[in-house]
Amino acid sequence: MNVFKSYTNKSVPVLLVLLCALRVAGASAESGLSVSPAVAVRYSTEAGRYYQLQTRVGGKWENVGFAVRGTGEVVDGLYPSGEYRVVPRSKGWVMVWADEFDGDGLDFTKWEKEENNYGGGNNERQAYRTDPKYCFVKEGLLHLAVYRDPHTTCDGKTQPYSSARIRTQKRGEWTYGRFEVRAKMPAGQGIWPAVWMLPTESPYGGWAASGEIDILESRGSAIHETTGAIHFGGAWPGNTYLAHSYTFPGKNAAEAFHLYALEWGPDKIEWFVDGKLCQTRTADEWVSAAAPDNPRAPFDQPFHLIVNVAVDGRFFGKTGQRADLLPPDAFPQILAVDYIRVYKWAE
């Protein structure tokens, strides 16, 4: 093991150590064993400050992985041989989590598939199932597909449609941040795609006392618009909500991919579509029945992401939309997601 390079970038000392390639004991030249040198990167951190590891590629510095929040301890790791630097970040958003859906399947280190046949409390008519048919990654996109596939559970509960719901609970959860979703909606009436957030724990009580944040929701044949909302107050039925809608000035939600974003801070939550601010909610607009003296409750706890496609239910109210009116060849109805990214604000 030999010292390879050590230098300082913007006051962050970075020690790079070249690890020599070693033959595994007992391995022969005919074994096909392939080894490469690696670099050990070590740097000190300040608690609460964000750092971004970068490597030089073709004369330019490119980010390696996500930004790291310092704890005051030394950070180290092994990387392919090359030139590296660590840049402290401040006064801006830094990426701390993402799924670009570029692999061959769903990344189960980030997502869990849910199974539920009971309509989500909204009289929905889908069964959430774990079969790859209903949730898969292909050609750089996450696909959540709705089929007119009836499904009956062992207790005799039957739903006429099958779909998928995935979540990051216990795999990814955040208090505050910027959440970006680039997606294309399905266009069938009665089809209800959503990307939203729930608290990982429920310190203020059951739904919706501990809050819910809806980044985006779409109503089938009402694809000229998108909606967002927050739910709060007491536990059902003592809960309430604030909702808004945004009308697309050009191609609708099913004709093109759009960028949906939510910026959530201690005292304010904002929704954006294609970079345009479309709604702001402030802490004086929400309340917690369990913590009336805490103006930030219930939106001051870790929340996780959920992506799903429901069918019918109370969300459609008196719209007259109903999936049963769709012809057989309208299925599958597909929500396509290009990426989901999470950022934190670096002070």
| Cβ proximity of 54 and 61 under 8 Å | yes
Quick one: pLDDT at residue 23?
A: 38
CATH 2.60.120.200 describes domain 98-346: yes
The one-letter amino acid code at 107 reads D
Residues 6+ apart with CB under 8 A from 291: 204, 297, 298
Quick one: pLDDT at residue 71?
A: 96
Q: pTM of the full predicted structure?
A: 0.91
| Cβ proximity of 237 and 243 under 8 Å | no
pLDDT band at 10 (very low <50, low <70, confident <90, very high): low
| Cβ proximity of 308 and 135 under 8 Å | no
CA distances from 346 to 10, 50, 178, 306 (A): 16, 6, 12, 25
CA distance 160 to 190: 13
Three-state SS at 49: coil
| Cβ proximity of 113 and 86 under 8 Å | no
CATH 2.60.120.200 domain range(s) in the chain: 98-346
Known catalytic residues are 212, 217
pLDDT in tens, 311-339: 999 999 888 889 999 999 999 999 999 99
